Amino acid sequence: MIGINLNSDTDAPKYIWNKIYGRLTYLTPAYERVPIYLVDEATMDRIHPPERSLSMDVLKERLPGIMGRLEEEAERMREEELPRWASIIEEGLNACFTSQMSALGAYFHDFQPQPELAHDLTNILEERTKYDKALKEQIRAQHPRLPAGEVIFICPERIYRHEKPELLFQKVVIHELAHAYVGGERNEDYRRGYGRVIEESLANAVALSHFRRKETPALKAFIATQPPEYRGCYFWIDNLSTNEHLFMRYHLEHWRNRPVNLLLAKHVFRHPIFRDPDEFEFFIHKIFRRQPLSYWYFLDHWGFPREILKDALEQNYEKNNHRPLCNLISLAILQFVAEQG
C-alpha cells in the first residue's frame, strides 16, 4: 500500500513507492500489512518526541572504563562472588545516552496515542479523505483501529533536507519495515540500551542491504551523521557478499526469535563456504538447530573475560535469560563503531 500523506508539505511520488516495493523481498509482507502515513514535523514530534541517543564522544570516553570494570568483575567472579557484570554494561552505556535526535520515521507495534493526539490524527485523516471515498474505505480496511494499532509514520520534510532525498526516503521506509519485521517481540529489550543498539544497527544494516552498491555512498554519508547505535550497521554487513540482504534476514529472525544466535550466524556465514545463500540455508535449517553449540570460537576475540562469557551463556541456556548475552553483543557493536571512528 502506498503511504498516505496526512499533513506533510512534502509528498513522495508514486514511483518512489514503486521503487520501495520493487526492492523488497522478505519485508514485503510487512509493507503490505502495516499502514504508512506521512506527517509534518510538528505532528511527528507529538507522535514520537525527540529521544535520547548515544553520544560518540561520551561513548569513546567511557568504553575503556566499562571494559576495565568488566575485568575487575571477572576477578571477583573467580572468587565465586555474585556476578553483576551485565548491570555494569547497562549502567555504563546508559550514561552515554546524552545526545538527542528527532525522528525521520517511527514504527509502532501497537500505537496508543493520548486522546487529544488520537482526536487530532483522526480529524486530519477525515479531512484528507473527505472527497475520496475509495481511499477512505481502503484505509479503514487496512487500519480498522485508526489511529491506534500497528503503524509507521514518516516525516518527509526532514528527509528532503538531505542529499539524495528520494534515495534516503526509501532507506528510511525500509528501516522502519525492518522494525515491523521484528514486530513487538523485542519491545522490552528495546527499552533497554542494549536492545536499542542491536535493533537500530540491524534495521540500518537491513535497509542498506536492499540497495545496490553504487547507490550506497549517499546513504553511508547520511549514516555517518547518525548516532552510534545506527552506525553499528557495519558491524553486521561489512564486507559481505552481494547477497547480503538474504543473510540479513537471518539476523532479524534471530533477534526476533532467539537472540543468542545473533553472533554465531554473523561469523558462520562470513566463511567462504556459506557465501552461497543455498548453502547457508542448508546450514541454518539442518545443522544450526543442534543447540547449544560452542561459542568460544565466535566470542573469544571480542576481548571479554572468559568468566563473563561463560556466565552469559549459562544464563541464556540454563535460565532462559538472554539479556546478559545481549549486553555483550551491544558492547561488541559499540566497540566496533568506536574503533571505526
Write out the three cell numbers for 174: 525500509
Task: Please indicate, yes or no, if residue 90 is contained in any of the structural domains.
Answer: no
Q: So what's the pLDDT on residue 244? A: 66
Please name the amino acid found at residue 180: A
In the listed set 159, 184, 209, which residue is the last one of a domain according to the structure? 184
Q: Which residue has the higher pLDDT, 153 or 185?
A: 153
Task: Please indicate, yes or no, if residue 66 is contained in any of the structural domains.
Answer: no
Question: Are both 291 and 273 inside the same structural domain?
Answer: yes
3-state class of 164 per DSSP? Answer: coil
Please name the amino acid found at residue 23: R
Question: Are both 211 and 180 inside the same structural domain?
Answer: no
114-151 tens-digit pLDDT: 999 999 999 998 888 888 888 888 888 888 888 899 99
CB count in 10 Å sphere of residue 224 = 11
Task: Please indicate, yes or no, if residue 214 is contained in any of the structural domains.
Answer: yes
Q: So what's the pLDDT on residue 243? A: 58
In the listed set 130, 156, 184, which residue is the last one of a domain according to the structure? 184
Question: Are both 180 and 206 inside the same structural domain?
Answer: no
Task: Please indicate, yes or no, if residue 60 is contained in any of the structural domains.
Answer: no
248-261 tens-digit pLDDT: 888 898 899 888 77
Question: In the chain, what is the straight-line distance between the N-terminal and C-terminal CA atoms, in Å?
Answer: 39
Identify the band that residue 83 occupies on the pLDDT scale cut at 50, 70 and 90. confident
Write out the three cell numbers for 212: 545496490
Question: Are both 148 and 282 inside the same structural domain?
Answer: no
Environment class of 341 (CB within 10 Å of its CB; exposed 0-12, middle 13-18, buried 19+): exposed
Report helix angle 323-340 to 306-319, nearest 10.
140
39-68 tens-digit pLDDT: 999 999 999 999 999 999 999 999 999 999
The total number of structural domains that make up the chain: 2
Question: Are both 159 and 259 inside the same structural domain?
Answer: no
Cβ atoms of residues 329 and 90 within 8 Å: no
The residues pairing with 154 across neighbouring beta strands, listed in sequence order, are 38, 105
Show the domain range for 306. Answer: 194-341
State the Cα–Cα distance between residues 328 and 330, nearest whole angstrom. Answer: 5
Question: Are both 177 and 207 inside the same structural domain?
Answer: no
Residues 24-28, mean pLDDT to the nearest whole number: 93
Question: Are both 215 and 115 inside the same structural domain?
Answer: no
